[in-house]
Amino acid sequence: MSQVTENKFVLDEFYDLITPNKITLFDRIAAERTRYVTIALENIYQEHNASAVLRTCDCFGIQDLNVIEKDNQYQIQRDIALGSGRWVDIHNFNEEIDPTKRCINDLKNRGYQIVATTPHTDAYDVHNLPIDKPLAFFFGTERQGLSKEMMSEADLHVRIPMYGFTESFNISVSVAILLQTIRQRLELSDVSWKLTETEQIDLKIQWCEKILNGGEALSKEFRARYQKD
């Protein structure tokens, strides 16, 4: 077994159980996934917007969505999310004292630059924002935007150019525009922003566990078999 890592062994065992179509799908999508960019939502109270953002993250290959729950609990509307909650990892921050600070610190400790999205900045727009380091984009409510705490803690501020009388897009639209632009820029860059092969294997195991009944138990069984052999 020295030539095959434990996780590769586990994935191969799972792949013997799922359909070839699903295998092809997992391999293709995992190869396009990233944790170089992540999204954080601060106190979003409209369920349809929150669900649409989750779906948008999946569509653009964003693996992690961070949700700060101050006054509002994050709820997913299934008819809008269309199952994207199964494929995107949701990280909830709902501590009674300062969940925003907890989320910021968590992301900074993981190497992210904290980026506040706001129409009230001349610092950067989505076309010239530096992308040489991992980026965590924070979005607030349409009416109030991000909290003052969030704005002051941010490393960078970015805006999406707008040319009309209103100065805010729907939040799900804002996330989509930003991710479309940033992903396109990353595709054209020399930055290593996609998941490594090892990370892809880990992720595909996670997906297999979710789609199979008793998936986690199977994973433990496969690992025990690997150790025994």
Chain segment 64-100, per-residue pLDDT in tens: 999 998 765 655 545 445 467 789 999 989 877 889 9
CA atoms within 13 A on the CB side of 189: 16
As a whole number of angstroms, the distance between CA 149 and CA 91 comes to: 20
Across 17-21, 34-38, 85-89, 185-189, least confident range: 85-89
Strand partners, 90: 65
pLDDT at 115: 98
Residue 72's contacts (CB-CB under 8 Å, 6 or more residues apart) are 43, 44, 45
User: Taking all residues of the chain, what is their mean pLDDT, rounded to a whole number?
Assistant: 89
Return residue ranges of the chain for CATH 3.40.1280.10. 34-187
Residue type present at position 75: Q
pLDDT at 80: 46
State the residue for tokens 């939502």.
41
Question: Rounded to two decimals, what is the model's pTM?
Answer: 0.91
- The domain covering 34-187 belongs, at the CATH homologous superfamily level, to SPOUT methyltransferase, trefoil knot domain (3.40.1280.10)
